[in-house]
Amino acid sequence: MEDVLVIGAGIFGLNIARKMRLAGRRVLVVDAAHSGAGASATPLGVLAPHAPDNWNPKKEAQFQALTSLPDYLAGLEDETGVGVGYARCGRLVPLTTENQRRAWERRLPDAVENWRGAATLELIERPDPTWVAQQAAPFGAARCGLSARIDARGYLAALAASAGDGLLDGMALERLEEGAAVFANGDRIAARLIVLATGAAAFAHLPDSDGEPAGRGEKGQAARMSVVGDVAARPIIYHDGTYVVPREGNEVAVGATSERYYDDATTTDALLDQKIERADALCSALTGARVIERWAAVRPRAADRALLVGRHPVLSGVSVATGGFKTGLAMAHMLDISALG
Ligand SMILES: Cc1cc2nc3c(=O)[nH]c(=O)nc-3n(C[C@H](O)[C@H](O)[C@H](O)COP(=O)(O)OP(=O)(O)OC[C@H]3O[C@@H](n4cnc5c(N)ncnc54)[C@H](O)[C@@H]3O)c2cc1C
């Protein structure tokens, strides 16, 4: 019998596995395809805080996650020798109306109070026009110093390296039983603890609560673009649901769409083209840029949009960890393994 069986080798499953191993447990991670086959391999890799006003426990948890992540990642890189491409690059929010500027102005003292010196929020009159398109920021920009970026695929590779031979591909979960999981290839693996971390696919293995599904998948699309010149030191640009994220190697990532209803989870379409157009209008460096990757996946969105981490409501010996939705990369290292049993 296995000690801990983690099903799903995304950012949630792999972080849980690592934390469990560091706590002295023996862990096997299995995945239907391979590590990074799901939403965690996003080209965006944005690590951005909620706005600093109207502070609440959710914002505090995210603040703790963002400020503790660099040390956690440094430990992971030291352990594995695999780089995760973390950079505290900041984020610019171009302001298009006087009202928007006033709203961000009102948040400045909230950032001082709630970010406690960890980073600053400031207003900029005129962002660098070689990065933020001049017409996109007629009222300047807000600069959030707490935002960062990560190479999500590097993060996954480092976690997979940490898992070593405790990671098995090609194991598609068919059904869960008390203390065991049955796979499409007919294998049945018994374990003292099973952790269901299959992202959006996890909800199918959970009962409805109050007549509603525990959560659902929401599709998203993003692109990687090749630009002229090194943009790695630039800040992220974010406006009205559109991200432009600088990457190493003369690249920029652009996204992301949100589709509640979709036929195919992995194809990209005109919605991504529109997103790229919007990004082009925000960022001068995208003029003439070439698309080098179009990517789509399904985000796990719990019914209340919160993380879903804890024991399975029906099956003993089974726990679940999903619900990262749009911020899973920042939160995954904070998952409380004591809640899983
Ligand atoms: C377009 C897009 C952009 C995003 N950008 C960001 C961002 O910039 N910053 C951020 O923080 N978050 C972002 N997210 C959200 C983030 O990707 C998720 O919050 C996070 O990746 C969820 O991690 P997970 O491990 O729960 O799920 P996943 O990464 O989806 O992992 C689930 C794993 O389970 C496996 N699996 C599925 N079914 C089975 C089965 N039956 N049996 C065995 N294994 C199975 C899959 O192969 C997969 O490897 C984005 C998501 C999308 C779609």
User: Which residues neighbour 312 within 8 Å (Cβ) at sequence distance 6 or greater?
Assistant: 176, 196, 205, 206, 318, 319, 320
3-state class of 40 per DSSP? helix
Locate 4 and state its tokens. 């801990």
Question: Which residues approach ligand 1 with their CB closer than 6 A?
Answer: 7-13, 31-33, 37-40, 42, 44-46, 171-173, 197-199, 201, 220-222, 255-256, 297, 299-300, 322, 324-330
Give the 3-state secondary structure of residue 144: strand
Burial class from Cβ neighbours inside 10 Å (0-12, 13-18, 19+) for residue 270 reads exposed
Q: Whose CA is nearest to atom 10 of ligand 1?
A: 327
Whether 192 and 2 have beta carbons less than 8 Å apart is answered as: yes
**What pLDDT was estimated at residue 195?**
98
User: From the CA of 10, how far away is ligand 1's center (Å)?
Assistant: 6
**pLDDT band for position 50 (cuts 50, 70, 90):** very high
235-270 pLDDT, tens digit each: 999 999 999 999 999 999 999 999 999 999 999 999
SS3 of 174, please? Answer: strand
Let me know if domain 2-340 sits in CATH 3.50.50.60.
Answer: yes
Closest to 240 measured CA to CA, from 94, 86, 27, 107: 94
Instruction: Tell me the CA distances in angstroms from 22 to 25, 75, 245, 306, one per residue in order.
Output: 7, 12, 33, 26
Share of the chain above pLDDT 90, in %: 97
45 CA: nearest ligand 1 atom? 8
Question: What tens digit of pLDDT does each residue of 153-184 get?
Answer: 999 999 999 999 999 999 999 999 999 999 99
pLDDT at 210 over 90: no
Comparing 107-116, 197-206, 300-309, 327-336, the range with the smallest average pLDDT is: 300-309
CA distance 44 to 175: 32
State how far the Cα of 108 lies from the Cα of 96, in Å rounded to an integer. Answer: 18
246 CB-near residues (< 8 Å, 6+ apart): 89, 149, 231, 232, 233, 234, 235, 236, 252
For the stretch 216-244, pLDDT in tens is 999 999 999 999 999 999 999 999 999 99
Separation CA 242–CA 38 (nearest Å): 21
The answer to whether residues 29 and 191 touch, using CB atoms and an 8 Å cutoff, is no
| Averaged confidence pLDDT in the chain | 96
Hunting for tokens 């992220």 — which residue is that? 236
Per the DSSP assignment, residues forming a β-bridge with 62 are none
Residue located nearest, by CA, to atom 15 of ligand 1: 326
Residue nearest (by alpha carbon) to ligand 1 atom 18? 328
Residue nearest to atom 30 of ligand 1 (CA): 38
pTM, two decimals, is 0.97
Contact 297, 38 (CB under 8 A): yes
**What's the confidence (pLDDT) of residue 305?**
86
The domain limits of the chain are 2-340
Nearest atom of ligand 1 to the alpha carbon of 331: 11
Contacts of 183 by beta carbon, 8 Å cutoff, 6+ apart: 30, 171, 172, 173, 174, 189
Q: What percent of the chain has pLDDT over 70?
A: 100
Mean pLDDT to the nearest integer, 182-193:
97
Kind and range of the H or E element at 176?
strand 173-177
d(CA 164, CA 212): 39
Cβ(257)–Cβ(239) below 8 Å? no
List of residues 6+ apart from 165 with CB closer than 8 A: none
Ligand 1 midpoint to CA 117 (Å): 32
Residue 220 Cα: closest atom of ligand 1: 1
pLDDT digits (tens, 9 = 90+) for 74-105: 999 999 999 999 999 999 999 999 999 999 99
The confidence band for 150, taking pLDDT boundaries of 50, 70 and 90, is very high
Question: Does residue 209 register a pLDDT over 90?
Answer: no
Closest atom of ligand 1 to CA, residue 38:
30
Rounded CA-CA distance 192/205 in Å is 18
167, 326, 327, 340, best to mutate for ligand 1 pocket (most atoms within 8 Å of CB): 326
Tell me which residue has its CA closest to atom 50 in ligand 1.
326
